[in-house]
Amino acid sequence: MERIVEPLLEWYRRNKRDLPWRKDQNPYHVWISEIMLQQTRIEAVKEYYKRFIKRIPNIRALSQIDEDELLKLWEGLGYYSRARNLKKAAMTIEQEYGGIFPEEYDDIKKLSGIGEYTAGAISSICFDKKEVAIDGNVMRVYARVENEDIDVSDLKIKKKIGEKIKKILPSKPGDFNEGIMELGETICLPNAIPKCEICPLKELCKAHQNHCEIELPRKVKKKEKPEEFYTVFLLLHDDEIAIHKRSTGLLKNMWEFPNLEGVLTQNEALKWIGEDNIISSIQEGIENTHIFTHKKWKMKSYVVRLKKKKTEYTWVSFAELTKDYALPTAFMPFLKYVIRQKSE
């Protein structure tokens, strides 16, 4: 592997993409981008990142931001615990490090929402620490360069690769870490034919020499995600819709449309709403499946027009909901559906 260091660095310095968080080595910028990139494509993150940094330019501002505003800025990125952890970590940095981002890997890793990969990325990119940042891209490039039939989901193997790579890190470890990830994202592609002809490692890559790069790394069959079923109520009164804050479990404290677990028939839905005399009309709405990292929500909906508001909910206009409230992506198709219906 040590032979890949120089060609990789040279290639990276010539070809690195111009990304908004690569303008400097400010750990705040790298941190925010790394957290956003955890579940989202680079192209989609760019605009979120710019908007976020404009509104929350530094650690102090992040530590003081109102949670609802933070979640609104995060709306669409999903996995809202990431946003909450950012604020929690910013408060820790303010309280324990005087507002200065810590430099050491172990200190960074203790911050809320930061794991091995992100701690390695920040400490190497921003502070030139010889720490590795191993993600799926790095595992794939490693498997192909070394022609090793590894299981990329095996944490022990990930650790071993991390130890091997740590020994060959150059004086600019951040460039190496970013370079190998960039190579995995743009050249040594996962779900398409790798672009070996333009790869800076093609002379050294054992899988390419053996014409087996496409077979590596081994595909691991993903486990089926468990399914949960929900019935969502789009309760309307005049030009307003009912929302409330979720009190437990996944998406806790997020705004959402009233819903309950299970698939309700129309009669059951009417019974759930309770007071018969306040219902003007009820009709079935759209269904939506939302896939989280570890489960699926299968959701059906009812659009219910009410003669008077049910007081246990917060009632908002569509304009207010869109502007001021962070609605999880799982509920977005329902919002779009009722807005579309209203304009027809």
Under rule CB under 6 A, residue 188 binds ligand SF4: yes
Long-range contacts of 191-196 (CB under 8 A, 24+ apart): 194/144
**Contact region with ligand SF4 (CB under 6 A), list: 22-30, 42-50, 65-73, 193-201:** 193-201
Alpha-carbon gap, residue 128 to 296, rounded angstroms: 40
Compute the least distance from the CB of residue 209 to ligand SF4, in Å: 9
Least CB distance to ligand SF4 at residue 222 (A): 23
Concerning whether 34 is annotated as a catalytic residue, the answer is yes
Q: Does 161 bind ligand SF4 (CB under 6 A)?
A: no
Q: How far is the CB of 40 from ligand SF4 (least distance, A)?
A: 24
> How many angstroms separate the CA atoms of 93 and 139, rounded?
32
Residue 62 vs 216, nearer CB to ligand SF4: 216
What is the DSSP-derived secondary structure letter of residue 303? E
Binding residue (CB under 6 A) for ligand SF4 from 120, 162, 194, 328: 194
Least distance from ligand SF4 to the Cβ atom of residue 202, Å: 4
Residue 217, preceding peptide bond in cis (omega within 30° of 0): yes
Q: Which of 60, 82, 202, 305 binds ligand SF4 (CB under 6 A)?
A: 202
- How far apart are CB 42 and ligand SF4 at their closest, in Å? 19
User: Which lies closer to ligand SF4 via its Cβ, residue 156 or residue 211?
Assistant: 211
CB of 105 to ligand SF4, least distance (A): 27
Residues 135-154 that bind ligand SF4 (CB under 6 A): 141, 144-145
Footprint of ligand SF4 on 2-61 (CB under 6 A):
none
Task: Give the helix ranges, DSSP H, for 129-265.
Answer: 136-146, 155-168, 173-186, 206-209
Structural element, H or E, at residue 283: strand 279-291
Q: Rounded to whole angstroms, how far apart are CA atoms 59 and 54?
A: 13
Q: Considering the complex, state which of residue 199 and residue 235 has its C-beta at the smaller distance from ligand SF4.
A: 199
Among 126, 199, 232, 338, binds ligand SF4 (CB under 6 A): 199
**Cα dist. 325→45, 79, 86, 132, 315 in Å?**
20, 16, 19, 38, 12
Please pick, among 2, 6, 10, 34, the residue that the annotation labels catalytic: 34
129 near ligand SF4, judged by CB under 6 A = no
First to last CA, the chain: 61
Integer angstrom CA distances of residue 237 from 303, 315, 318, 320, 341: 11, 8, 12, 15, 14
Size of the residue set binding ligand SF4 (CB under 6 A): 15
- Residue 95 neighbours by CB under 8 Å, 6+ apart: none
Judged by DSSP in three states, 282 sits in strand
Among 90, 108, 143, 201, binds ligand SF4 (CB under 6 A): 201
Q: Which amino acid is at 112?
A: S
For residue 289, list its beta bridge partners: 298
DSSP result, 156-186: HHHHHHHHHHHHH--S-HHHHHHHHHHHHHH
Residue number, 202 or 305, with CB nearest to ligand SF4 = 202
Beta carbon nearer to ligand SF4, 147 or 341: 147
Residue ranges that bind ligand SF4, judged by CB under 6 A: 141, 144-145, 187-188, 194-196, 199, 201-202, 205, 207-208, 213
Instruction: Tell me which residues are annotated as active site.
Output: 34
